[in-house]
Amino acid sequence: MAENNAAKDAAMEMAESARETEWKFPSFTAEMFRGNFRWDLLHPYPEQDPEDKRIGDELIEKTREVMEQHDPILLDETGVFPQATLDGLAKIGLFGMKISKEYGGLGLTQWNYARLLRFMGSYCQTTVTYVSAHQSIGVPQPLKLFGTKEQKQKFLPRLAAGEISAFALTEPDVGSDPAKMSTSATPTEDGSHYLINGTKLWCTNGPDSKLMVVMAQTPPLQKNGKEIKQISTFVVETESEGVELLHRCNFMGLHGLSNGLIKFTNVKVPAENMIGKPGMGLKIALTTLNAGRLGIPAASTGTLAGLIEPIQDWVTSRVQWGVPIGRHQSISKKIAGMVADIFAMDALVYLACSFADRANADIRLEAAAAKYFCTETSHRVLDELIQVRGGRGFETDTSLYNRGERPMPVNRFARDGRVGRIFEGSSEVMHLIMAREAMDTHFKLVMPLMMPKPGQKESKLSLIWNAFKFYSTWYPSLYMPSSTDFNVKHLDGACQEHLAYAARTSKRLARSLFHTMAKFGPKLEFEQILLSHFVEIGVDLFVMGCCLAKAEQLLDKNPKDKTPVELADLWCKGARERIEDHFRKVKHNHNSDYNKVAKAMMEGKYNWMASDVFGDLPPKYRDWAQKTPSLANSEDRELQQASTES
Ligand SMILES: Cc1cc2nc3c(=O)[nH]c(=O)nc-3n(C[C@H](O)[C@H](O)[C@H](O)COP(=O)(O)OP(=O)(O)OC[C@H]3O[C@@H](n4cnc5c(N)ncnc54)[C@H](O)[C@@H]3O)c2cc1C
């Protein structure tokens, strides 16, 4: 058990050291968790610059021409990705969307990048994953953030011209916790090269890529008699000797995605291909993922927006019990929720993109909120749309067409989109990131007092004084009424009340979070269910702000069109119900019952219910289970044993 805790502590310490610790620019969400609803950061809702819009419009048209030749239905059925699509996209420069013009790219703003991914996400999610894995997390992004001029000159023009890149972080034994990776990069004797050894799993674009960002362990540092693990990042040419595609992975959706298990055996990489300094690897990986996180939400918004017209057609033309099904209240609720959700997703995505473009806001929380909110929402809505389509929601497009009915890609989109909640940081990990950042102020002020680190410089007295100075003004301020001067001209009474609710509720959120922290102290970290309520409240308040700012902007442009305010109002009403429910569950819950039953389940105490079942594999395949233990790593099996016994 001690070993178990030590391993966990080491992983946490490493993840913590890879975090951005400074808040150089304001973050709407971070401020909100401190009780400060910074409406001034959301309103007036940003507008895309007309010249930038023209660039985006033109590129969307060019992309449309390429995509019209691409058949996503055939791709879904055969799993064969057409090379012509990649060639066509490369020709119009789509592999250089985020690479600056200086290096031969299109130098798109984040806003236009999101528009492009949204557009492609409404048509073929395999293609959008290809394109976004290349630029959101593949070689362009870490080089843009951390590369030297020489590295940029060497690699970016090749990538802008269409060479595909991949991002190799995950390994068979490490996913959400990459700090424990085992791939190694050992310097050669003369220091001119590194030899990479290890295996990387689920590398999107890996089988087709020419260049890959690979995270690997370099020799550890010795500090104060302690060994400090170093993870570093390299650009690897996939044609180098020793790079081997062991297996092409296939999935429940995203058929035809180029994805593989890749083995590196003594792959010789020039030392100058290291991005950043030794030991910066995890920070580079996490920062790359932070910045890249806005791509997936944009694509998932497009997926839903593309279904508005087909679903409208379906719910008005399908008549059951004498009326169109859209008029049965159970269906009305789903389709009304769908359009309100799309409005909210768009409002959130473009606001976060404008923060990223202006480069005067810290977007790590907003990007995590966007990834979490958009992928969870699109998954829920797509599942509801399968329901709205009834039996047709379960039938394939081709089958529908072959018997003479209009196909709608609802179930293909649902299968393709499901992985959005898992890759580039799972929803649970987004919760952890947001919870950690939400408590950052308190961590900085209180943790050095509660859990002093060895070698901590500040005296206890000065720590107490700093905490006192902050809390003596901050805490009473949470009981002061919030300002109601929102400087809005068009929002109706209901929406203005939503705004006032959001402002006062962010104070309530900060109070409740603080009280909970005072109650649990450092143990709060283990109260994930409790923390998730705070995160959910925070996300909903942020999205309420986005919806209201967006509605005000659209009304300002066209006061006669009340549709934006209807959508914002409906979305905010739903959010307020959820928020009140979360506050209730912070106070009254049965979280300890979950812990108890889950522990018993892990010990096999409920296996009696597994009688009269067939087992997971047909008899013919039973030896598969013996040949492939669920945990490949023996150290992990021991830890699992220890934690079940404890
Ligand atoms: C189609 C596809 C494409 C991918 N592309 C790439 C790629 O290009 N490059 C790359 O490096 N990786 C890629 N991945 C890997 C992906 O990023 C990982 O699947 C993801 O990070 C989760 O890791 P895991 O699957 O090992 O799950 P695990 O880490 O084993 O987690 C299993 C479950 O436990 C939860 N969990 C884990 N830790 C915690 C915790 N501390 N608290 C609460 N819950 C927790 C997770 O959220 C998840 O629900 C891809 C995966 C897929 C399926």
Q: Which of 288, 419, 422 to mutate to test the pocket of ligand 1 (most atoms within 8 A of CB)?
A: 422
Q: What would the two tokens of residue 488 be?
A: 């809005």
Which of 11-25, 555-569, 610-624 has the highest mean predicted lDDT (pLDDT)?
A: 555-569
Q: What would the two tokens of residue 209 be?
A: 């890529």
- The more confident residue out of 483 and 517 is 517
Q: Is 552 assigned a catalytic role? A: no
* Residue minimizing CA distance to atom 27 of ligand 1: 175
**Average pLDDT for 15-22:** 70
3-state secondary structure of 212: strand
- pLDDT the model gives residue 616: 78
- The more confident residue out of 640 and 366 is 366
- pLDDT the model gives residue 642: 57
- pLDDT the model gives residue 343: 98
Asked if 144 contacts 98 with a C-beta cutoff of 8 angstroms, the reply is yes
- pLDDT the model gives residue 403: 96
- pLDDT the model gives residue 533: 98
- pLDDT the model gives residue 1: 46
| Count of helix runs (H) and strand runs (E) in the chain | 26, 10
Domain regions of the chain by residue span: 50-290, 601-645
Rounded to the nearest 5 degrees, what angle is found at the Cα of 84, between the Cα atoms of 82 and 87?
125
Four-point Cα dihedral 325, 328, 333, 336, nearest 10: 50
Residue 612 has pLDDT above 50, yes or no: yes
Q: What would the two tokens of residue 153 be?
A: 């000159």
Largest CA distance in the chain: 82
Close Cβ partners of 59 (under 8 Å, ≥ 6 residues apart): 92, 94, 106, 108, 112, 116
Residue 511 has pLDDT above 70, yes or no: yes
Residue 607 has pLDDT above 70, yes or no: yes
Q: What is the DSSP string of 108-121?
A: --HHHHHHHHHHHH
- pLDDT the model gives residue 615: 77
Residue 170 Cβ contacting ligand 1 at under 6 Å = yes
Ligand 1 atom having least distance to the Cα of 428: 47
Residue 372 Cβ contacting ligand 1 at under 6 Å = no
3-state secondary structure of 216: strand
Other Cβ atoms less than 10 A from the Cβ of 556: the count is 13
Distance 427 CA to ligand 1 centre (A): 10
Residue 203 Cβ contacting ligand 1 at under 6 Å = yes
Distance 45 CA to ligand 1 centre (A): 34
Residue 7 has pLDDT above 80, yes or no: no
Q: Across the chain, what does the average pLDDT equal?
A: 92
pTM: 0.94
Asked if 309 contacts 128 with a C-beta cutoff of 8 angstroms, the reply is no
- pLDDT the model gives residue 12: 63
Whole-number Å distance between alpha carbons of 334 and 390: 13
Distance 260 CA to ligand 1 centre (A): 15
3-state secondary structure of 217: strand
pLDDT tens digits for 186-208?
A: 999 999 999 999 999 999 999 99
pLDDT tens digits for 528-586?
A: 999 999 999 999 999 999 999 999 999 999 999 999 999 999 999 999 999 999 999 99
Active-site residue identified among 163, 366, 424, 552: 424
Residue 69 has pLDDT above 90, yes or no: yes
CA distances 599 to 22, 296, 523, Å, are: 38, 34, 18
Quick one: DSSP state of residue 273?
G
- pLDDT the model gives residue 625: 78
- pLDDT the model gives residue 70: 98
- Give the H/E segment covering residue 203: strand 193-204
| 328 — pLDDT class (breaks 50, 70, 90) | very high
Q: Which fold has domain 50-290?
A: Butyryl-CoA Dehydrogenase, subunit A; domain 2 (2.40.110)
| 619 — pLDDT class (breaks 50, 70, 90) | confident
Residue 637 has pLDDT above 80, yes or no: no
Residue 527 Cβ contacting ligand 1 at under 6 Å = no
Distance 465 CA to ligand 1 centre (A): 42
- pLDDT the model gives residue 396: 93
Four-point Cα dihedral 11, 537, 521, 31, nearest 10: 90
- The more confident residue out of 461 and 553 is 553
Percent of the chain with pLDDT over 90: 78
- Give the H/E segment covering residue 577: helix 563-587
Whole-number Å distance between alpha carbons of 212 and 200: 11
Residue 133 Cβ contacting ligand 1 at under 6 Å = yes
End-to-end Cα, the chain, rounded Å: 7
